[in-house]
Copies of this chain bind each other. A is one copy, B any other.
Amino acid sequence: MNIPKGYRFAAARAAFKYEGKLDLGAIVSDTPAVAAGVFTTNKFQAAPVLQCKEMLADGRKISAIMGNSGQANACTGEEGRANCRETLNLAARALGVPADEILPASTGVIGAQFNMAKWEAVMPSLAESLGDDPELTAKAIMTTDTVHKLAEASFELKGGEVRLIGMCKGAGMISPNMATMLSFIACDADVSAEAWQTMLSDCVNLTINRVTVDGDMSTNDCVLALSNGRSGVAIESEDDYILLRKHLLSVLEELAYKIVMDAEGGTKVAFIEVSGAKTDADAELVARAVGNSPLVKTALFGSDPNWGRIICAAGYSGANFRAEDLVLKIGGVLVFRNGTPEPGDMDDLLAPIMAKRDIVIHLDVGDGPGSTMLLASDLTKEYISINADYRS
């Protein structure tokens, strides 16, 4: 990979939950970096989420991100907050950066308290592992993911090359805003904190906030992004800004697709496009209802062109549109309009489309300006197995 300058990566085995799996990772910037974050809107926010929000509120620079899998440190009260701060002290000593410049992130089982002895014991090997391989860090934050997820981008400005990499973990408890999901971005541009936060929020909203696996929004979701300026390339003009934003967007788009592609037990990716709605919010209601419908998702899994379930979900979405205006296309094939199915053997036409991995479902619901796009996974027996047995 084309690694941005001034970053090192670490990963270690703490055995927080399972033996023999990397479960603690870190990204260290040799130069304190401008930092931005986007967080879950769940009312119950995990200790590391609260910690990050507090730290980012004062605009300080950040030298490291540390993420663990296996334990979420959510719904753990004051003890959880204190444990979170103590892990930063331990990491500060091991990694040689100030504790108040380390952003924490956790994912895993909700409600259990950290085993602090394990945190203390793992720190030397975390520090020793520091190197130039982001893949191991991406692996350390995996829970039920079957593959680690990385994306990269780079571009030239007159001052030189700017590089970005992103990593994330996804799998389950994904949606309706963001995913159960930790996502870390490292960039070496010299950009202002305000501009970096604005473009991160925008890009997350267009990508990771538009995926749904199971409609569950976790207590721990966060996207953390650093930019350390080590490329020596300053983002100054409007054009520079647009170019950096474009590449940040492409990194997040790739991560979002990878999350849905590797959804727990998932075998399909549905691109649910809604247009013609009165407002974007109405379009969103339709897309979420279709993308979260267990009946639509099981039909996707079964490659069953059972389009009535899509119409049905749009009908109970609560969106403001007229039933007779809805036009449904699947994979470009016109299926339903004017309240009536198109004539012909739709099953024959749709069977090869439904058999594919990526399926485009387009709902036009009127002549309004509102639109959206949502990536949705299917719902499979494997999802049930994973989640019925997750803790055992």
Interchain CB contact under 8 A, A313 and B216? yes
Q: Give chain B residues whose Cβ lies under 8 Å from the Cβ of A42.
A: 312, 315-316
Interchain CB contact under 8 A, A298 and B74? no
Mark interface residues in A356-392 (1 if CB within 8 Å of B CB, else 0). Answer: 0000000000000000000000011101110111111
Please measure, in the bound complex, the distance between the C-alpha atom of A78 and the C-alpha atom of B341, giving whole angstroms.
11
Of residues 277 through 325 on chain A, the ones whose CB sits less than 8 Å from some CB of chain B are 292-295, 298-299, 301-302, 304, 306-309, 311-316, 321, 323
Q: Assuming the A-B contacts A173-B295, A215-B293, are A109 and B308 also in contact, with contact meaning beta carbons closer than 8 angstroms in the complex? A: yes
Q: A293: nearest residue on chain B (CB-CB)?
A: B216
Choose from B110, B216, B306 the contact partner of A109 (Cβ within 8 Å): B306
Q: Nearest 9 A-B pairs (CB), nearest first?
A: A110-B308, A302-B388, A77-B340, A298-B387, A44-B315, A43-B315, A111-B308, A42-B315, A217-B316
Interchain CB contact under 8 A, B312 and A218? yes
Q: Assuming the A-B contacts A219-B315, A308-B72, A340-B76, are A214 and B294 also in contact, with contact meaning beta carbons closer than 8 angstroms in the complex? A: yes
Choose from B75, B301, B387 the contact partner of A388 (Cβ within 8 Å): B301
The A interface is mostly helix, strand or loop, or mixed, namely loop
- Asked whether A196 is an interface residue with its Cβ less than 8 Å from the other chain, the reply is no
Please measure, in the bound complex, the distance between the C-alpha atom of A380 and the C-alpha atom of B217, giving whole angstroms.
21
Interchain CB contact under 8 A, B111 and A336? yes
- Asked whether A41 is an interface residue with its Cβ less than 8 Å from the other chain, the reply is yes
Mark interface residues in A316-342 (1 if CB within 8 Å of B CB, else 0). Answer: 100001010000000000001011110
Interchain CB contact under 8 A, B311 and A384? no
Q: Give chain B residues whose Cβ lies under 8 Å from the Cβ of A70.
A: none
Total copies of this chain within the assembly: 2
Interchain CB contact under 8 A, B43 and A111? no
Task: Report the minimal beta-carbon distance from A294 to chain B, rounded to whole angstroms.
Answer: 4
Interchain CB contact under 8 A, A216 and B294? yes
Interchain CB contact under 8 A, B312 and A110? yes
Task: Report the minimal beta-carbon distance from A211 to chain B, rounded to whole angstroms.
Answer: 15
Interchain CB contact under 8 A, A302 and B392? yes
- 21 A-B pairs, CB-CB below 8 angstroms? A43-B314, A43-B316, A43-B323, A75-B336, A111-B307, A111-B308, A111-B336, A214-B295, A215-B292, A215-B293, A216-B313, A216-B316, A217-B315, A217-B316, A298-B383, A301-B384, A302-B389, A306-B391, A380-B388, A381-B384, A384-B384
Q: Give chain B residues whose Cβ lies under 8 Å from the Cβ of A37.
A: none
- Asked whether A79 is an interface residue with its Cβ less than 8 Å from the other chain, the reply is yes
Mark interface residues in A146-177 (1 if CB within 8 Å of B CB, else 0). Answer: 00000000000000000000000000110011
Interchain CB contact under 8 A, B41 and A316? yes
Q: A304: nearest residue on chain B (CB-CB)?
A: B391
Q: Give chain B residues whose Cβ lies under 8 Å from the Cβ of A391.
A: 304, 306
Q: Give chain B residues whose Cβ lies under 8 Å from the Cβ of A293.
A: 214-216
Please measure, in the bound complex, the distance between the C-alpha atom of A387 and the C-alpha atom of B308, giving whole angstroms.
13
Q: Give chain B residues whose Cβ lies under 8 Å from the Cβ of A383.
A: 294, 298, 384
Q: Give chain B residues whose Cβ lies under 8 Å from the Cβ of A76.
A: 340-341
Task: Report the minimal beta-carbon distance from A77 to chain B, rounded to whole angstroms.
Answer: 3
Q: Give chain B residues whose Cβ lies under 8 Å from the Cβ of A321.
A: 43
Of residues 42 through 57 on chain A, the ones whose CB sits less than 8 Å from some CB of chain B are 42-44
